[in-house]
Amino acid sequence: MKTIIEPFRIKSVEPIRMSTPAERAAWLAEAGWNLFRLPSERVVIDLLTDSGTGAMSSEQWAGVLRGDESYAGAPSFFRFARAVEDLTGFTNVLPTHQGRACERILCELLLRGRTTPSGRRPVVPNNAHFDTTRANVEHGGAEALDLLTDAGRTPGLVAPFKGDMDLARLEALLAARADDVPFVMITITCNTNGGQPVSLANLRAVRALCDRFGKPLILDACRFAENAWFVKQREPGQAGRAVRAIVREQFDLADGATISAKKDGLVNTGGILLLRDPELFRRASDLLILTEGYVTYGGLAGRDLEAMAVGLGEVTDDDYLRYRVRSVEFLGERLLAAGVEIVRPPGGHAVYIDAAKLCPHLPAERFPGQAVACALYEVGGVRSCEIGTVMRGEPAPMELVRLAIPRRTYTQSHVEYVVEVVTEVAARAATLPGYEIVEAPPALRHFSARFRPLNAT
């Protein structure tokens, strides 16, 4: 059948407060034209992020009631740890309150205070670091280096694995500066360039280079199940494999992983740090106790661990993944049909509008992505996220606006509404003003900066 149906029934609903363009214009100004600063009840359709914004299943809510809140050794932790081991093969498992806590611990262990024989800063290669990953790497004193393929940096190009790492550039880096590289990281799927997947062939090749140069390989595996689904659908020889088998191979190729379970863990909070090296795991455990909580709860309640244990099973279900990816494709197809350029093909968790194409009159320093994001909110109450020069803190290779779809939250009619809003904004794109930053912190400025449209007094 061509019609996309949600493979679930709705047992509980949350009201949406409708608003007018005039109200939203006033609220936007009050928030300093930063969508992160808006109270969520002033948003009609919230596509700011897919992180922690999904709906949990009836089985997950049953797990919440089963949660044991003992400080140490709760059975909820052991059920969680077994679920992680069954899925990933890792036996050294640490829970954290969310993914960036995993990144912070990893970077403190492998980067903080590190010196290199060359006297230069350490460098951490990735296909493309996302915002908190880049910030944690740089806070650790290292350079965060993106090594996407040329295809991955070309929004309009249709290719199956635009998240792949450029193997030639990685090999050249390791050959020239191996002592400066403490570890190699690869993000699946690659959020920064449109939620694009990484092939197993590319992961295997990166693993081989890491083995050749003696470097650990760390996965940023927030969307490991979506990546595995794309591998199953697109990579030669993978169609007959179970998603869980592909997920397991992805993790088998790595020495460690950071996971925000707020994505493919299908929960509202939680993270997972996986480390194969026993000594590194011991040191990470010490840091976890210092900053997050004891090793069997890691800053979470037992009920959160129970919900994660269930979610890690549900996320590899074929019916769920088929619906998840197809509904995002549907949004992308409708926008393309309306003449709105996006990163092609659509990713697994979001559609990314090419703001540079939509607003050619706005140079990077006038933040075209921010202009489009503000217009989407004012016109229809749709909250999105700029992925470009604002977020990067310097001119970005692509100026994008991410429409991130929360898991199991919105229906197809909501998606149709989003298409209508984007289409209306596209029709008036030539009139959108540029923006300037009024105030901003030195790092991760997109979360809290204040802006001003350039036609405002």
pLDDT (tens digit per residue) in 152-175 = 999 999 999 999 999 999 999 999
Q: Which residues pair with 450 in a beta bridge?
A: 439
Query: In CATH, what number is assigned to the domain containing residue 307?
Result: 3.40.640.10
Distances in whole angstroms, Cα of residue 221 to Cα of each of 57, 88, 200, 251? 22, 11, 14, 9
User: What CA–CA distance (Å, rounded) separates 422 from 382?
Assistant: 9
- Please indicate, yes or no, if residue 287 is contained in any of the structural domains: yes
User: What CA–CA distance (Å, rounded) separates 180 from 110?
Assistant: 12
- Please indicate, yes or no, if residue 156 is contained in any of the structural domains: yes
Q: Which residues pair with 100 in a beta bridge?
A: none
Q: Are residues 259 and 340 in the same domain?
A: no
Q: Are residues 157 and 121 in the same domain?
A: yes
Please give the average per-residue pLDDT across 263-284, as a whole number: 98
Nearest to 152 by CA among 339, 352, 359: 352
* 64 pLDDT higher than 90: yes
- 10 Å CB burial of residue 218 (0-12, 13-18, 19+) is buried
Nearest to 409 by CA among 300, 303, 268: 268
Q: Within a 10 A sphere around the Cβ of 27, how many other Cβ atoms?
A: 18
- Please indicate, yes or no, if residue 7 is contained in any of the structural domains: no
- Please indicate, yes or no, if residue 28 is contained in any of the structural domains: yes
Contact 42, 17 (CB under 8 A): yes
pLDDT (tens digit per residue) in 237-255 = 999 999 999 999 999 999 9
Q: Are residues 262 and 274 in the same domain?
A: yes
Q: Are residues 68 and 141 in the same domain?
A: yes
pLDDT (tens digit per residue) in 121-136 = 999 999 999 999 999 9
Give the pLDDT confidence score for residue 441 in this predicted structure: 93
- 8-state DSSP, 165: B
- Please indicate, yes or no, if residue 4 is contained in any of the structural domains: no
Q: Are residues 323 and 302 in the same domain?
A: no
Q: Are residues 403 and 338 in the same domain?
A: yes
Please report the beta strands in 101-220, taking only residues with DSSP state E, as ranges in sequence order.
123-126, 143-146, 184-187, 217-220
- pTM: predicted TM-score of the whole model, two decimal places: 0.95
- Please indicate, yes or no, if residue 185 is contained in any of the structural domains: yes
Q: Are residues 365 and 431 in the same domain?
A: yes
User: What CA–CA distance (Å, rounded) separates 403 from 96?
Assistant: 27
- The residue type of 224 is F
pLDDT (tens digit per residue) in 303-322 = 999 999 999 999 999 999 99
Provide φ and ψ at 93, rounded to 5°. Answer: -125, 125
Give the pLDDT confidence score for residue 456 in this predicted structure: 52
User: What CA–CA distance (Å, rounded) separates 214 from 212?
Assistant: 6
User: What CA–CA distance (Å, rounded) separates 416 from 408?
Assistant: 16
Strand order in the sheet with 400-404: 350-354, 400-404, 385-387
Q: Which residue has the tokens 């059948």?
A: 1
Residue at a domain's end among 283, 314, 345: 314
Which structural domain, as residue segments, surrounds residue 129? 58-314
User: What CA–CA distance (Å, rounded) separates 354 from 179?
Assistant: 38
pLDDT (tens digit per residue) in 165-218 = 999 999 999 999 999 999 999 999 999 999 999 999 999 999 999 999 999 999
Mean pLDDT value across the chain = 96
Give the pLDDT confidence score for residue 443 in this predicted structure: 87
Q: Are residues 225 and 365 in the same domain?
A: no
Give the pLDDT confidence score for residue 455 in this predicted structure: 78
Q: Within a 10 A sphere around the Cβ of 313, how many other Cβ atoms?
A: 16
- 10 Å CB burial of residue 441 (0-12, 13-18, 19+) is exposed
* 111 pLDDT higher than 80: yes
Q: Are residues 369 and 306 in the same domain?
A: no
Q: What share of the chain is helix, strand, coil (3-state, %, to 5)?
A: 45, 15, 40
* 115 pLDDT higher than 90: no
Query: Alpha helix locations (H) across 20-74?
Result: 21-30, 58-66
Report percent pLDDT > 90 for the chain: 95
Contacts for 102 with CB less than 8 Å, ≥ 6 apart: 94, 96, 258, 259, 260, 271, 272, 273
Give the pLDDT confidence score for residue 457 in this predicted structure: 40
Please give the average per-residue pLDDT across 289-293, as a whole number: 96
Q: Are residues 152 and 252 in the same domain?
A: yes
Query: In CATH, what number is assigned to the domain containing residue 383?
Result: 3.90.1150.10
Provide φ and ψ at 456, rounded to 5°. Answer: -95, 150
Q: Are residues 99 and 38 in the same domain?
A: no
Residue at a domain's end among 314, 329, 351: 314
Maximum C-alpha span of the chain: 61
- Please indicate, yes or no, if residue 12 is contained in any of the structural domains: no
The pair of structure tokens assigned to 76 is 């909820």
- Please indicate, yes or no, if residue 8 is contained in any of the structural domains: no
Residue at a domain's end among 288, 314, 340: 314
Q: Are residues 140 and 29 in the same domain?
A: no
How many separate domains does the chain show?
2
